């Protein structure tokens, strides 16, 4: 594995690889790597000649200052982990904020239409614009053949698909399945911030979504939605866990492709429906999803 901190050095390495006709996989991350990231990197290693793994906590995609400050940063451990995966193939790109944004705060504004107007979009103003700016910059620097993103951030994938349609870069977008802990919690860098008590409650999110998938066989969309929200908002009361916040922010059942809410199961198109949730757990915001 080679660590690169300068954009120009990454561009030079990519240019050499391109001249040799090599394929390039890109795995954009914000570090604090877990098995979910490692599954993306392992897949990218299998499918490409070289793999650029970026580790960059992108300040412009955080709409909450405290979330940015508290975002876990574990760069040394991250680099050690990456090195165990495929030392000869990996370029680990770890730029500073100034290196990524040499002109200062970027001013580009993207519009992605309906896919960004639901769920995370209105609740995290500026978030997807910040994601699009950094991902495009990474595309420009790494010029990947394929780019790998985890499906836990389901709406982010739709936004990046829309970005690729706009900028018309010939990059294959590769969505990768959620990786879960043994108790069902979707792996996320933010899980590191959960207190032991909050971590013990967190699997209730996936357990509730799994039950919702069973209910969907015989219940209406609105009834499933209401049941999920009720179950999670009363979970701490039912389980007599008084002092811990456990609060769903939203649960939406949407068409898996357009991300628009549906009110009848048969409104979902070819890809079916997906239920997306955001939950506040003791000050940490977790997202997850279930496919119906
Ligand atoms: O999914 C993430 O970790 C980030 O949003 C990404 C894609 C690395 C951009 O900063």
Span from the CA of 238 to the centroid of ligand 1 (angstroms)? 35
pLDDT digits (tens, 9 = 90+) for 212-235: 999 999 999 999 999 999 999 998
pLDDT at 276: 98
* Ranges in the chain, pLDDT < 70: none
pLDDT at 80: 95
For the domain spanning 189-286, the CATH number is 3.30.1300.10
Among protein residues, the one with the nearest Cα to ligand 1's atom 1 is 29
Domains 2-176 and 189-286 equal at CATH topology level: no
Beta partners for residue 27, in sequence order? 53
Residues 19, 142 contacting (CB under 8 angstroms): no
Residue 77: count other Cβ atoms within 10 Å of its Cβ: 11
Span from the CA of 219 to the centroid of ligand 1 (angstroms)? 35
Q: What is the dihedral of CA 124, 247, 182, 87, to 10 degrees?
A: 20
**Active-site annotation, residues:** 37
* pTM flag (> 0.75): yes
Ligand 1 contacts CB of residue 189 (under 6 A): no
For the domain spanning 2-176, the CATH number is 3.40.50.620
Ligand 1 contacts CB of residue 134 (under 6 A): yes
Q: Residue length, the chain?
A: 292
Nearest to 123 by CA among 172, 67, 43: 67
Beta partners for residue 92, in sequence order? 3, 53
- Could you identify the atom of ligand 1 that is nearest to the CA of residue 57? 10
Domain assignments of the chain as residue spans, ordered by start: 2-176, 189-286
Residue 162: count other Cβ atoms within 10 Å of its Cβ: 19
Among protein residues, the one with the nearest Cα to ligand 1's atom 8 is 29
Ligand 1 contacts CB of residue 131 (under 6 A): yes
Span from the CA of 73 to the centroid of ligand 1 (angstroms)? 14
Show Cβ contacts of residue 183 under 8 Å, excluding neighbours closer than 6 positions: 203
């Amino acid at each position: 594995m080679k660590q690169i901190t300068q954009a120009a050095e990454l561009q030079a390495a990519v240019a050499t690889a391109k001249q040799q006709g090599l394929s390039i996989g890109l795995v954009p991350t914000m570090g604090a790597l877990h098995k979910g990231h490692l599954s993306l990197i392992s897949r990218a290693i299998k499918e490409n000649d070289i793999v650029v793994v970026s580790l960059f906590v992108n300040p412009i995609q955080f709409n909450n200052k405290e979330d940015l400050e508290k975002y876990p940063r574990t760069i040394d451990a991250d680099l050690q982990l990456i090195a165990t995966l495929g030392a000869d193939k990996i370029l680990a790109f770890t730029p500073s904020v100034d290196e990524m944004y040499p002109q200062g705060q970027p001013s580009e504004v993207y519009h992605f239409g309906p896919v960004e107007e639901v769920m995370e979009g209105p609740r995290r103003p500026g978030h997807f614009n910040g994601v699009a700016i950094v991902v495009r910059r990474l595309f420009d620097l790494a010029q990947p053949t394929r780019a790998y993103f985890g499906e836990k951030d389901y709406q982010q994938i739709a936004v990046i698909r829309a970005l690729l349609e706009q900028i018309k870069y010939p990059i294959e977008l590769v969505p990768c399945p959620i990786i879960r802990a043994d108790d069902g919690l979707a792996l996320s860098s933010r899980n590191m911030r959960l207190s032991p008590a909050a971590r013990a409650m967190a699997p209730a999110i996936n357990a509730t979504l799994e039950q919702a998938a069973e209910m969907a066989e015989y219940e209406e969309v609105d009834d499933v939605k209401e049941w999920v929200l009720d179950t999670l908002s009363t979970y701490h009361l039912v389980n007599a866990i008084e002092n811990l916040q456990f609060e769903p922010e939203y649960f939406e059942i949407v068409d898996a492709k357009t991300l628009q809410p549906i009110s009848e199961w048969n409104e979902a198109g070819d890809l079916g429906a997906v239920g997306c949730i955001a939950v506040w757990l003791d000050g940490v915001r977790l997202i997850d999803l279930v496919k119906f």
